[in-house]
Structure formats: C-alpha cells, structure tokens
Homo-oligomer: A and B are copies of this chain.
Amino acid sequence: MPVTVLLVDDEPLVRAGLRAVLEAQPDIEVVGEAADGAAVIPLVRRLRPDVVAMDVRMPLLDGIEATRALLRTVDAPPKILVVTTFENDEYVYGALRAGADGFLLKRARPAEIVHAVRLVAEGESLLFPASVRRLAAEYGEEGGNRAARAVLERARLTEREGEVLRLMARGLTNAEIAARLVVGTETVKSHVSAVLAKLGARDRTQAVIAAYESGFVAPG
C-alpha cells in the first residue's frame, strides 16, 4: 500500500511541483490538495492521508494553527511535514512545537523531498535535515566553533541560550546549570524553554541530539 499525501499550500505552483515530484514515485500517492489551513481538517477527515505536506505561511489559518487544530481534533492524525522557503523561519519552529514531525525546504532536491515524505510516513521525525547537518562540514574542521556560531545564528539562539544548551549537552540538570551560571533555576527554565522552542525540540534530550547533529557540540 502506497504512502498517501495531502498537499497544503496557498501557491498552486508549489502544489503542482510537489505533486509532480511525489507522483513520480510508485509508492507515493497525492490524494488531495488544499489552498489554506482552514480547509485541511475536513479534507483529512475524508481522505485520511498518511502525510500532510503543510506550508507554514498561509492565509486564513497558518501552518502552526492548522497543525495544532489537526492534532487536537482528529484522531489518528496524519504525519505533518512542514514546508517552508526559509531555513530560518521562526514559524517553522512554532509548527514543530505544535506537533509537526519534520520540516522540508522548498528548494530541496526532489530526492530529498521524496525521502522526507517516506521518513515521516514511517514515523521518523525530521527535525534536522541534511542541509543543517552539513553545516559543520562546510565550515571545515579548522573552523573551530565557527560552525557552532553558524548554527547559533540559524536557530537564532542568544548567547545565553547557547551557553545553556552547551551545559544541557554535558548532562547537567536545570539546578546544576543555574548553579554554574549563578542565576535562579527559573531563569534557566526560561532559557531551556526558549532553546526547545527555537530548535523545535520536545524535551532536553531532543535538544542535545540537535546539538550533536548540527555540530553545535562535537563528540570527543
């Protein structure tokens, strides 16, 4: 049985492109399209797709709200793949926080798009696509922490949030981080929440994974 996909994007051109790429696969079937977030829920109820490829910026109901509504009102909801133009879109992080399973850049190569759909359909999350992982490599070994800085910028982490993430990635608890930074635990909690939101992580474990996968911290 093929993977069924519902396309949600306000630009017909993008929908057509995604459809062309996905329909070229024998095991992927596009079962419907929607032009805005408001139309998604009834369509999902009727078509029951495995995956919804959802734009973030849309009229009426944006991708974040649509994702939230979908997960709240539909039982056995489909996997949600957030489609965006910018790697740096805060809306993406909002959508991931709302429960989306991964994100996908519009300028990704067809093979990557297909791969992303298959992955989320299998239940994998795709928070840190290859493009992000390659950062460290791009900057080279001798870049020192230039790659880390780049990731910082992409995720728009503040300096303090970066410090907190680094300590999280050393296995410290909030209380220990607070002691280390000589601030209150509530302050650390604020920073941690900000880091989770910006990285699209659900908990500190996923944030640490993100730190390793992005090259923000390196093993050894």
Given contacts A123-B180, A180-B123, contact A170 B219 (CB under 8 A): no
Question: Which residues of chain B have C-beta atoms less than 8 A from A190's C-beta?
Answer: none
Residue in B closest to A130 when the chains form the complex, CB atoms: B220
Whether A202 touches B125, Cβ cut-off 8 Å, given contacts A133-B219, A212-B219, A219-B212, is: no
Q: Does A184 contact B (CB under 8 A)?
A: no
Closest chain B residue to A210 by CB distance? B171
A209 contacts which of B137, B170, B220 (Cβ < 8 Å)? B170
User: Quick one: given A133-B220, A213-B220, are A170 and B125 in contact (CB under 8 Å)?
Assistant: yes
Give 10 nearest A-B pairs by CB, closest first: A171-B206, A212-B212, A133-B220, A212-B219, A205-B205, A213-B219, A171-B209, A204-B205, A205-B208, A208-B208
